[in-house]
């Protein structure tokens, strides 16, 4: 834009007034847990559908105010929607994100709009990028059938841990013990949890095994991705006595490959429908 920041409009949506509100032109304070309702209301207004003003008011924002926002969005030459991790922490979880992505897609019938999730930790974008070009999906992937299946809300890490579906965990470059819901943290403490991390974390304190590794970008080379998916090659500046994450995972893979294939122990109880009279597994 020729006028720089003056030619842009920043709208902030949050449940409380954060420091970012001071930088915004418009601040919409919504009620907690109303992310999905707000996103679907915006979608309805974008399409010119009738909405119930009383129901919309339950979000904490009047329908007239939201109509004004929609009109501004349609007049924009290039719009960007950023959304943070808080969107997926409320009741709607991944459905909240889906509603925002749908809103972005529908806005392209009027003008150019894109959407980008905000990242909270180091190389989260890098993990998404690698998973996308190897499986076709960015996260929430299940490979138990020999091919990738994508279903956020079922295969996402937080959902697996809260439900207690997994009986072991390998954690690389993350600290779920500091951010996950308490049921998920409790499950990590119950099962064999292995952590690869340069430092002691909340997760490593509850893990059965903590392997100290070199710090990527400081003592180990690699590639980090910026939030806008620009790759940044990293060259080590210091020497570390610890192995890199890549080296540890390679050695684990070699050890697993050298181990004989697992076979279930034969049942020996006579009279079992799975055994013969001699105790041999049928």
Q: Residue 104 domain-assigned?
A: yes
**263 pLDDT tier (thresholds 50, 70, 90):** low
- pLDDT for 47 equals 95
Q: What is the pLDDT of residues 31-55, one digit of tens each?
A: 999 999 999 999 999 999 999 999 9
157 with 217, same domain: the answer is yes
Q: Residue 90 domain-assigned?
A: yes
Q: Residue 273 domain-assigned?
A: no
**88 pLDDT tier (thresholds 50, 70, 90):** confident
Q: What is the pLDDT of residues 118-167, one digit of tens each?
A: 876 778 889 899 999 999 998 889 999 999 999 888 898 888 999 999 99
Q: Residue 267 domain-assigned?
A: no
Return the closest-CA partner of residue 95 out of 141, 33, 51: 33
Q: What percent of the chain has pLDDT over 70?
A: 93
Burial of 177 (0-12, 13-18, 19+ CB in 10 A): buried
245 with 157, same domain: the answer is yes
137 with 173, same domain: the answer is yes
Please check the confidence at residue 84 and state whether its pLDDT lies above 90. no
Q: Residue 279 domain-assigned?
A: no
Cβ–Cβ contacts within 10 Å for residue 160, how many? 17
Query: In terms of residue numbers, what domain contains 180?
Result: 124-258
Q: How far apart are CA 227 and CA 119, in angstroms?
A: 7
Q: Residue 169 domain-assigned?
A: yes
Residue 147, domain CATH = 3.40.50.740
Q: What is the pLDDT of residues 55-81, one digit of tens each?
A: 999 999 999 999 999 999 999 999 999
User: What angle, 0 to 180 degrees and rounded to 10, lies between the N-to-C axes of helices 63-75 and 35-46?
Assistant: 60
- pLDDT for 265 equals 64
128 with 51, same domain: the answer is no
pTM (2 d.p.)? 0.70
Q: How far apart are CA 154 and CA 142, in angstroms?
A: 9
**Residue 4: C-alpha distances to residues 71, 113, 146, 260 (Å):** 21, 18, 50, 63
Cα atoms in the 13 Å half-sphere on the side-chain side of 122? 14
């Amino acid at each position: 834009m020729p006028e720089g920041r003056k030619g842009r409009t920043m709208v902030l949506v949050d449940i409380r007034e954060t420091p970012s509100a001071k930088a915004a032109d418009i601040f919409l304070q919504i009620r907690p847990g109303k992310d999905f309702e707000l996103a679907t209301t915006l979608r309805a207004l974008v399409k010119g559908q009738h909405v119930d003003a009383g129901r919309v008011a339950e979000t904490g924002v009047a329908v007239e105010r939201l109509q004004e926002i929609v009109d501004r969005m349609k007049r924009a030459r290039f719009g960007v929607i950023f959304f943070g991790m808080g969107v997926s922490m409320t009741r709607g979880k991944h459905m909240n994100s889906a509603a925002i992505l749908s809103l972005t897609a529908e806005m392209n019938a009027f003008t150019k709009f894109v959407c980008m999730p905000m990242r909270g930790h180091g190389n989260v974008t890098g993990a998404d990028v690698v998973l996308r070009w190897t499986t076709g999906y960015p996260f929430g992937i299940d490979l138990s059938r020999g091919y990738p299946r994508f279903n956020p809300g079922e295969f996402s890490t937080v959902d697996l841990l809260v439900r207690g579906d997994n009986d072991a965990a390998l954690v690389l470059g993350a600290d779920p013990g500091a951010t996950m819901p308490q049921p998920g943290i409790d499950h990590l403490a119950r099962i064999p949890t292995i952590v690869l991390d340069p430092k002691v974390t909340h997760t490593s304190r509850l893990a059965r095994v903590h392997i100290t590794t070199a710090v990527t970008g400081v003592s180990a080379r690699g590639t980090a991705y910026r939030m806008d998916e620009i790759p940044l090659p990293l060259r080590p500046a210091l020497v570390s006595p610890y192995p890199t994450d890549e080296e540890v995972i390679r050695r684990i893979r070699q050890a697993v490959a050298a181990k004989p294939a697992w076979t279930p122990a034969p049942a020996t109880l006579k009279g079992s429908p799975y055994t013969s009279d001699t105790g041999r597994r049928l």
